[in-house]
């Protein structure tokens, strides 16, 4: 349920951004839209939030990769983090076109991974495991799951902008 709500939210976000981009054609993305709607202070706050996202998101991904490698092969630590952070920054520095090509390849591999994982786990899915003592997915449970449901859609607005 949380994944469905998050998918609906991001679908609405993409449609909204498409409408805004046709009405306010600008290379500024979310900053331009917020500045137009909320004034200079709103635009500044939005631009600041976007910059924080661009700094924090790669760091979070690098930490995840480090922990994932630690669980798989025992590699972790500052060296692993620095290596992958350097790779991500280098991809951005080589150029927009090359970065987009790499992003499409990574996206295709991620979709393939989701399809393979879902196919492998489908025989083990049990609908009765979704209930806990007779209550089925109460609002609080869905609320708790929303941060995890966000991750598959995290870069949707970034790609669109």
Asked if the model's pLDDT at residue 24 lies above 80, the reply is no
Contacts 24+ apart (CB under 8 A), 53-62: 53/158, 57/154, 58/85, 58/88, 58/89, 59/85, 61/88, 62/88
Mean pLDDT (the chain, rounded): 79
What are φ and ψ of residue 149, in 5° steps?
-70, -20
State if pTM tops 0.85. no
| Most confident stretch, 4-18, 132-146, 147-161 | 4-18
- As to burial, measured by CB atoms within 10 angstroms (0-12 exposed, 13-18 middle, 19+ buried), residue 127 is exposed
Segment 53-89, tens digit of pLDDT? 777 877 888 888 888 888 888 888 888 889 988 888 8
The residues, any chain, with a CB within 8 Å of residue 77's CB and separated by 6 or more, are: 66
Residue 21 tokens read as 């981009």
Q: Which residues pair with 65 in a beta bridge?
A: none
């Amino acid at each position: 349920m949380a994944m469905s709500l998050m998918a609906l939210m991001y679908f609405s976000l993409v449609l909204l951004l498409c409408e805004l981009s046709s009405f306010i054609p600008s290379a500024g993305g979310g900053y331009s839209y917020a500045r137009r709607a909320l004034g200079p202070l709103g635009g500044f706050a939005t631009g600041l939030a976007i910059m924080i996202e661009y700094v924090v998101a790669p760091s979070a991904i690098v930490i995840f990769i480090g922990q994932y490698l630690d669980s798989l092969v025992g590699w972790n630590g500052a060296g692993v983090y620095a290596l992958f952070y350097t790779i991500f920054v280098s991809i951005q520095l080589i150029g927009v076109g090359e970065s987009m090509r790499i992003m499409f390849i990574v996206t295709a591999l991620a979709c393939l991974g989701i399809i393979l994982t879902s196919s492998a786990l489908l025989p083990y899915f049990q609908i009765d495991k979704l209930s806990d003592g007779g209550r089925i997915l109460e609002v609080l449970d869905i609320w708790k799951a929303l941060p995890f449901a966000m991750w598959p859609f995290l870069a949707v607005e970034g790609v669109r902008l």
